[in-house]
Structure 1
Amino acid sequence: MVSGRPDSAFRRLLRYGFADPAAAARLLDEPELATLRTDTLFLDALGATADPDLALIGLVRLVEALDTEAQTLLDTVRTAKPLRDRLLGVLGASAALADHLATHPHDWKALVTYESTDLHPGVEEFEEALSDVVSPDTLRVAYRRAILSIAARDVCGTSDVAETAAELADLATATLRAALRLAEAEAPEDAALCRLAVIAMGKCGGHELNYVSDVDVVYVAEPAGGGPADREAREARGADGTNATNGAKGAGGGDAEGEALRAATRLAAHMMRICSDSTPEGTIWPVDANLRPEGRNGPLVRTLSSHVAYYQRWAKTWEFQALLKARPVAGDLALGAEYVEAVAPMVWQAADRENFVTDTQQMRRRVVASIPAAQLDRELKLGPGGLRDVEFAVQLLQLVHGRGDPTLRSSTTLDALDALAAGGYVGRQDAASLDSAYRFLRTMEHRIQLYQMRRTHLMPSSDADQRRLGRSLGYRSEPVAELHKAWRRHAAAVRRLHEKLFYRPLLDAVAQLDVGEARLSPKAAVQRLEALGYADPGAALRHLEALASGVSRKAAIQRTLLPVLLGWFADSADPDAGLLGFRKVSDALGKTPWYLRLLRDEGAAAENLARVLSAGRYAPDLLLRAPEAVAILGDEHGLRPRSRTALVQETLSAVGRAGDAEQAVVAARGVRRRELFRTAAADLIGAYGTEGAAPQDPAASLDRVGDALTDLNSATLSGALRAAVGAQWGDELPARFTVIGLGRFGGHEMGYGSDADVLFVHEPRDGIDEQEAGKAAFAVATEMRRLLQLPTADPPLVIDADLRPEGKSGALVRSLSSYAAYYRRWSLVWESQALLRAQYVAGDEDLGARFLALVDPLRYPVGGPDDDAVREIRRLKARMESERLPRGADPTTHMKLGRGGLTDVEWTVQLLQLRHGAEVAGLRTTRTRAALAAALAAGLLGQEDARVLDEAWVLASRLRNAVTLVRGVRGRPADTFPSESRELAGVGRYLGYGPGHVGEMLDDSRRVTRRARLVVERLFYGAA
């Protein structure tokens, strides 16, 4: 090879992945490697390693260290593929293990064996490998030799990451046992005085240890020869662990117990030093006992009763989370088993503690907040999207749901995740994503630590280290770029799923349940349901059994959901209706895979559904006709009202796909049904508000409901118009045709039970005879009404055209010129008043605008109405009060026609609009509340009068909506308070009155309307 110019050998080494082919060529030229220099299999094996340069250097160092025995190694490397791959794989991944082999060259023979018993050794095999140790240093050497074999299986893919972590935990177990034997051998008198059990915690306890990690332990001890009977006797004498928070007494106790604890403490401390001390042979790992009661301030060793007393009285939430992984590993295993058996019930009761879920979530936030900013983007373990996110999410789910489901009580993260998925607590796809991400992140962590055998969880910063890491994970073409791409993808998945699972609203509700309720006898269950307020607990129990019986995954998820839902239903005015509705929806969607997953996983979907189903009949009736609309409740933006433009486009598209006019109106109704549910659900849940207004602001919510219903009904009319035109005329009607909304429709104030007050206006197209155009327009209007009156179980959209000129006896449709002639010659004052609410809603928008321009002088007359017109308005109002109020109705509580009701407020505001609309631009609005605000701003009424009128109008409008929501689509008229107690309670809940406050609601209503009536009598009926 010519210096400075790559030759074929140089290029060949580059292709094998060498970063420094010149140095590699020099090493391959060494006489010792003469037999391997041109060996393609050997070079292929080097090229397959994480770092071919590192592997080759390590091999040369090993050969030099072996000296006369080097040829045996080289011959074996050349002829035995298993050894070749394992040895070079380790040397290419770990400089630290290459150092070990250079120091202890004969340990390469530990990689020769390739038999079934060698593939996945357990504690017994590792104990056998450590059986000859006679000193701490020989233990360290034997430990590294065992690590060498584990690493070989890891980097060659013989063991996956979970098996590698389990092997490391088993090796740690064998090492702790060997270290304890050495400590006991040096102090046999201490060993004779006590029974000492070593309990592994953390990753060691969970069989998921890293290559380099603190090994977390807890120590428990008893006097030698002391069994349960002796312990009970000591407790009876007072040594029952009440000294759990006193370090001196906790470590001392009585004479025999105190001696035993002091002896056990010396043995434990000695064992820790053997593992933790650094010598020329290195360090095994630190043994960390800070998870013990009181942490580093507490005694190192305690009796079992002292441990139990501490956990019963003083332990914090995180300590029970730590105990989830407790496992006896060394010393007196029988005593260790007693310890685990004693603390396990407390672990699975931890979720019952007040604020358990919140405390656990806050602890995770504190961990993230403590990470130095410079390291946050490099953290594989503690940072967002890291290993801790997976572990905390899994552990929290285990502790909450594992109280009643023993299958979840695994100390190993991936096993627990599998169990959570199998039990339906986590979606299969979510579990698979977490499993894949966790394995990827743990493999990254292992390979980073393996390089120098150092405890770290940070992505290395140098390109060379990242290249080695990427190649160790199988990325070859662009190792660094591919590594970062995969890391970002997995970290994003972990973060998303952690947020979804760890902060799942359902968790806190489940944690607050008494798990014993799920196992009540039928009689006790009926009593419990009755206590919750279910009027028919027997029927409720049958619903529960139908939903949750069996061993299917669906039933398992239902068993998780139902205890929480029962409580939410019970918090409503009609728990029975809520549960019945839930069963019906579940029956309809039971085979749909996303339904229960949505309720379990997505935000507040389950609570939203419970509130909607138990708040009355209207929304559940809609949902049962379109159960797939339940997905709206789990969508972050699902409860936001859609724009009129979007609604019209969707409705017209649905109509356009239909085969005929009747199918078209069915399609339009389908859109309307879903959007009515969206509006009602958002209203019931309290999701409506306006910019700058609190979501629960009743007036803001009412305005949004009015807008949403008006826009939706406008879209429905647009669809019916398209269907009516298309059935006979195709794309173009001989006449331009527009629909003008009046009343609450024109005012954007529609309620759930409102009719659509309209006027139909047409104009002949160019070249079309006016009579022909009029016939076509009449046919379209008639067909629209027919289509919208077809029988349906949906809330009807009733078209009311009685406010047209001449009322019911007048023409259903008029041309724009006919309206102009009529209003010029015959218009009455009540028609001018009705036109105050005129607004374009569907059809030809330009024609609609010209109609509104035509009527503006009538509704906003210059100088206002004369005295005769004002007297006529007052006469009509008085006549309405005396004639239209239903017989027997209480005028103090009738929300539309009663004293201080809707018409009182609206006629008062409309009189102000007629009088001053020409001069005050703000009054030229179709919306009652906006006109009222404009009148206040213009000084036409005082602030208190405006507040009183607004309050009364909002109350009456909300009451009408509430009654419809409670009674349902086919309910009775909605202008008075219901007489049936549950319906009245439901209305009260909607209006913000809790259980037992119905009387207060009625009193408040009468007070509000009484005050409004006084203002109306002064402003409307007073002097002109």
Structure 2
Amino acid sequence: MKRVTTIDAELARRGAEDGERAAQLHHQIAVLIGTDPAALAPWETHLEHCADVDLAMAAVADLAAVAPADTAAALDDDVVARRLVRLLGVSSELGRHLAAHPADLAQVVREPARMPAAEITADLCADVGASVDGTGFLVADGDPSIGADRLRLANDRHLVRIAARDVGAIESIDIVDDIAAELADLADAIVTVALALARAENPDHADARLAIIAMGKCGAQELNYISDVDVIHVAEPARDDVTGQQAVMVASRLAGAVARICSTHSAAGSIWQVDAALRPEGNAGPLVRTMDSMTIYYRKWAKNWEFQALLKARPMAGDLELGQRFCDFVAPMVWQVGEREHFVAEVRAMRARVVDLIPAKEKDRQIKLGSGGLRDVEFTVQLLQLVHGRHDESLRGRSTLGALKALAAGGYISRGDAKRLDNAYRLERLMEHRVQMFRMRRTHLLPADDRGLRRIGRSIGVRSAEQTREVWGATTRAVLRTHNKVFYSPLVEAVARIPSDEFQLAPTAVEDRMRALGFKDPRAALGHIKALTQGTSRAVRIQAQLMPVMLEWLADAPSPDRGLLAFRTVSEALGDSHWYLRALRDEGAMAQRLATVLASSRYAVDMLYRAPETVQILAEEDLRPRAAADVGREMAAVAARHETVEDAVAAVRAVRRRELFRIVVASILGKTNCLETGRGLADLAGATVDAGLTVVAREVEDPPRIGVVAMGRWGGAEMSYASDADALFIVEDSKDPEVTARATAMVSRLRNLLALPGPDPKLDLDAGLRPEGKSGPLVRTLSSYLAYYRSWSSTWESQALVRAAHGAGDRDLTGRLLERIDRLRWPEGGLTRSQFAEIRRLKARMESERIPRGVDRQRHLKLGPGGLSDVEWTAQVLQMQHAAELPALRTTSTVEALDAALAGGLMSEAQHEALREAWIHASRMRNAIVVSRGKASDVIPTGIEDLDGVARVMGLGVGSSEQLIEEHLRLSRLASKAVEELFWSA
């Protein structure tokens, strides 16, 4: 059965809000142009894709009433009808203009194509009767006021033509930049002809050469439909008998007349405002200056933002040769402003200030100035241009989209980020155009009402007000994310600080510069730079962009030569990885972090050499050690993906390597202190052993429950990079003797797999503190441990148990053992005199036997006076003496034990401070030695270079090696005095 619809219902389906009124207009139009009022005409199919159906219908009716035949002809041509309906549905003002001037309908009928700028100017000149006079100036004939009205009408006629091309495009968003450029061409022509009219008003106009310089959007040739046209005026005498002052006076009258002609509203309408506020001294300065005056101002007084504004400058009207001379004069200063002091900070502050000044009710509707709006894209692009354009002339374009394309081609911004900004900028400019076209008024606000939002939405291809809000919100969020990443990148600020001349030094000068930066082998360094920056690939372009600032950052670290070699090695290893260079350029402080790490730490560099992809961690915002549970879950997951035990443990070790690198980096960059580092290393050891036990259990039928008690520094959560994981291994009690054998096999297998040489740092599970030492069984049952400690353990074993804690495996087993040994480590009544004497004898023997011959005891961090062992043994003795009555002392942490001893009145504040500071300083230095030199040592190095490297890792400045030694000797001397009082003399 054929569907029957009424005219008003069908028009409502196509988008009319008032179907009945639309039907009445349909009938009126049909009668006027001679079509069937009882049926929809073919042209009305285009209403479905029209921004405002009601507006379009009313405008067609008005046009048909004054020009029925022309309207009928336009609507009869399907292609023309599509353009006309879309135009009238977007702009009520252009609809009124066509009704008042129906002859301009020809601008819609004509084939849409961009008119060359010269043709636009010639057309306007013909309208106002302007021609070149005998002195070579373009001057209008007749009454200037009549010519001004003709110019206003001609402007509207060209706006109709441009708008028809715009809305008639298959995808208006694709030509938004071309439309903006033609609008700028129209502005150039308007100002040119307005100047001709101004000359007609001023008989002495030939005394002055006046150049009008386009700025802002007009200068960039990305003008809106209705916008202020920002300009600067430059004048020079036209003849030798005219003074500069006379020329400025004449040119000022001409410039004032141009502004009046363009901005005055008459019966013929108005054009737009000519705004000269960007001139030197702004509105407080003279409207026109000579070149000499401009030269003095821009060389002496101009602020950074003024040069940023001049990025868009181009001659638009008047004396184009003079205008070009001005632009050529300021261009070098524009491209040097990026290295001025505080430039980047000022640009960022200026952008933030603009956002802060937006009224609260407009913040979410501001297309131009709001967060995620046009200004964020423009400021991002301009900042990159001004920083990198100093040495790359391909970036010196005026238009935003053109510059964005050049930045992406040069590798200064990722293709993905450039595409996102390009898409967003086009869409936001299109929305801004549609908002302005409605009433042809200067506005940058999205409508607040649903009908207005629906009209804007339909003009860009969405159907409802809510969808318009969603598209706007998604677009601004995408812009803001990219803007924040790029605009606030530390790399941009760092590059800006490098003087322009350092990008183009002669080879000998480069060597001198490298030597001044601290490179000991400049030629080798230049070889690395050449290898990284020669060629034409995108990767090479990004490396070339990074290199100057990487050199600055490497120079701030202990070993620039080693750092540059490591950078080359890592970069070559990851050269085919799409994320690596992109991350260095885009991911916050990654590049600076990498430079610092590479030039500071042989330990970290060795991990990167073995697994370069580990560098990804530097891009993470939070570098602090991850929670043990999170790491454990990841280890279990990666192990589960491998079939063989060997591969599964290797995968676990790879996770450990990455997390170890995270801990090292956090320490180097000052994100963690030594206590956090020790805790992170202990947690990582526990997670690794836990995951490893699960893996090796695969090989054992009916695997037993195994608990691992962490001892020593692992138990105290005070591990250093050089620490083994001291451990006791417990197996569940069983009548089956094979249970212990299976457990021993599992533990042996795990120890071997974790200690194998390979790309990942090994983890030694040291069982030397087990009952009976190396002659005792590797694994015991819980009852065996309890029996041994009940009957056979010695004083030193009780002391070792002070730092016993759950390490890995079965918590029930370790918990039961720890609970039962508390009587040994926290004995009732404390230590006996003989036990205390035994501990002292053992301590003295260790110091005499374990310090290598020829080593200065003062430089031994562990066994020297006031060293780690002194502090730890003092704390442990106090714990064993008093923990039974002071529960706060029942801790495995040395620092916590010292704090509890102070709180319990067992030491003075001076003793506590001396012991605590000495222990922390020695622990930091011990870690710094490993980090800097790549190998463990308890002895402070004697070489100045090694010492300086250790000092730099510890956060001290260049040449701080002597200060480091002095501080160590001071702290160890104070700690040794406290140890004498609390340990030896107690």
- In the alignment, what sits opposite 2:21? 23
Partners of 1:520 and 1:492 in 2: CA distance: 42
Contact 1:959–1:975 under 8 Å retained in 2? no
- Which amino acid in 2 is paired with 1:847? L
Partners of 1:575 and 1:287 in 2: CA distance: 55
Contact 1:908–1:1020 under 8 Å retained in 2? yes
Higher mean Cα deviation, 556-565 or 711-720?
A: 711-720
- In the alignment, what sits opposite 2:334? 347
Q: Deviations over 1:119-163 (max 9, x none)?
A: 011311211221223310000000000000011111111662111
2:519 maps to which of 534, 541, 548: 534
Contact 1:660–1:727 under 8 Å retained in 2? no
- Which amino acid in 1 is paired with 2:84? L
Cα shift at 1:818 = 1.4
Q: Deviations over 1:157-181 (max 9, x none)?
A: 1662111111110000010001001
Cα shift at 1:791 = 2.2
Contact 2:56–2:88 under 8 Å retained in 1? yes
- In the alignment, what sits opposite 1:995? 958
Partners of 2:75 and 2:542 in 1: CA distance: 57
Cα shift at 1:309 = 1.6
Query: Where does 1:297-696 land on structure 2 (aligned, <5 Å)?
Result: 297-476=284-463, 479-637=464-622, 639-688=623-672
- In the alignment, what sits opposite 1:155? 167
Q: Normalising by structure 1, report the TM-score.
A: 0.92
Q: Secondary structure at the match of 2:514?
A: helix
- Which amino acid in 1 is paired with 2:118? E
- In the alignment, what sits opposite 1:1015? 978
1:739 maps to which of 678, 683, 708: 708
Q: Does residue 129 of the first structure (1) align with residue 123 of the second (2)?
A: yes
- In the alignment, what sits opposite 1:203? 217
- Which amino acid in 2 is paired with 1:743? G
Partners of 2:657 and 2:687 in 1: CA distance: 12
- Which amino acid in 1 is paired with 2:627? S
Query: Where does 1:86-235 land on structure 2 (aligned, <5 Å)?
Result: 86-114=83-111, 118-134=112-128, 135-157=147-169, 160-189=175-204, 191-225=205-239
| Residue segments in structure 2 that go unaligned for 5+ positions in a row | 129-146
Cα RMSD (Å) of the superposition?
Answer: 1.5
Q: Secondary structure at the match of 2:963?
A: helix
Contact 2:668–2:954 under 8 Å retained in 1? no
Q: Deviations over 1:729-754 (max 9, x none)?
A: 3xx32x32111111101100000010
Cα 1:793–1:470, aligned 2, differ >3 Å: closer, same or farther?
closer
Cα 1:87–1:720, aligned 2, differ >3 Å: closer, same or farther?
closer
Query: Where does 1:532-931 land on structure 2 (aligned, <5 Å)?
Result: 532-637=517-622, 639-688=623-672, 701-729=673-701, 732-733=702-703, 735-765=704-734, 768-769=735-736, 771-931=737-897
Cα shift at 1:366 = 0.7
Partners of 1:963 and 1:844 in 2: CA distance: 35
Cα shift at 1:10 = 2.0
Cα shift at 1:278 = 1.2
Q: Secondary structure at the match of 1:101?
A: helix
Contact 1:327–1:340 under 8 Å retained in 2? yes
Partners of 2:314 and 2:747 in 1: CA distance: 79
Cα shift at 1:983 = 1.8
Q: Does residue 35 of the first structure (1) align with residue 20 of the second (2)?
A: no
Contact 2:98–2:105 under 8 Å retained in 1? yes
Cα shift at 1:722 = 2.7
- Which amino acid in 2 is paired with 1:86? R
Contact 1:289–1:300 under 8 Å retained in 2? yes
Higher mean Cα deviation, 795-804 or 506-515?
A: 795-804
Cα shift at 1:468 = 1.2
Q: Deviations over 1:320-357 (max 9, x none)?
A: 11000001010011111111111100000001110000
Partners of 2:674 and 2:697 in 1: CA distance: 34
Higher mean Cα deviation, 39-48 or 936-945?
A: 39-48
Partners of 1:754 and 1:209 in 2: CA distance: 67
| Residue segments in structure 1 that go unaligned for 5+ positions in a row | 1-5, 227-253, 689-700
Partners of 1:45 and 1:779 in 2: CA distance: 81
- In the alignment, what sits opposite 2:139? none
2:78 maps to which of 81, 94, 105: 81
- In the alignment, what sits opposite 2:947? 984
Q: Secondary structure at the match of 1:213?
A: coil
- Which amino acid in 1 is paired with 2:375? R
Q: Normalising by structure 2, report the TM-score.
A: 0.95
Q: Secondary structure at the match of 2:862?
A: coil
Q: Secondary structure at the match of 1:779?
A: helix
- Which amino acid in 2 is paired with 1:758? A
Partners of 1:46 and 1:832 in 2: CA distance: 91
Partners of 2:87 and 2:646 in 1: CA distance: 75
Contact 1:222–1:261 under 8 Å retained in 2? yes
Q: Secondary structure at the match of 1:216?
A: strand
Partners of 2:49 and 2:765 in 1: CA distance: 78
Higher mean Cα deviation, 47-56 or 576-585?
A: 47-56
Partners of 1:629 and 1:789 in 2: CA distance: 21
Cα shift at 1:704 = 1.0
Cα 1:511–1:938, aligned 2, differ >3 Å: closer, same or farther?
same
- In the alignment, what sits opposite 2:132? none
Cα shift at 1:720 = 2.9
Contact 1:736–1:764 under 8 Å retained in 2? no
Contact 2:700–2:742 under 8 Å retained in 1? no
Partners of 2:262 and 2:942 in 1: CA distance: 79
- Which amino acid in 2 is paired with 1:708? G
Contact 1:28–1:34 under 8 Å retained in 2? no
Q: Deviations over 1:885-938 (max 9, x none)?
A: 111111112100000000100000000100111111111110100111111111
Q: Does residue 941 of the first structure (1) align with residue 907 of the second (2)?
A: yes
Cα shift at 1:854 = 1.6
Q: Deviations over 1:284-304 (max 9, x none)?
A: 000000100010111111111
Q: Secondary structure at the match of 2:838?
A: helix
Cα shift at 1:727 = 2.1
Cα shift at 1:36 = 5.8
Partners of 1:324 and 1:861 in 2: CA distance: 79
Cα shift at 1:47 = 3.2
Q: Deviations over 1:548-576 (max 9, x none)?
A: 11111111111111111101110111001
- In the alignment, what sits opposite 2:137? none
Q: Percent identity?
A: 50
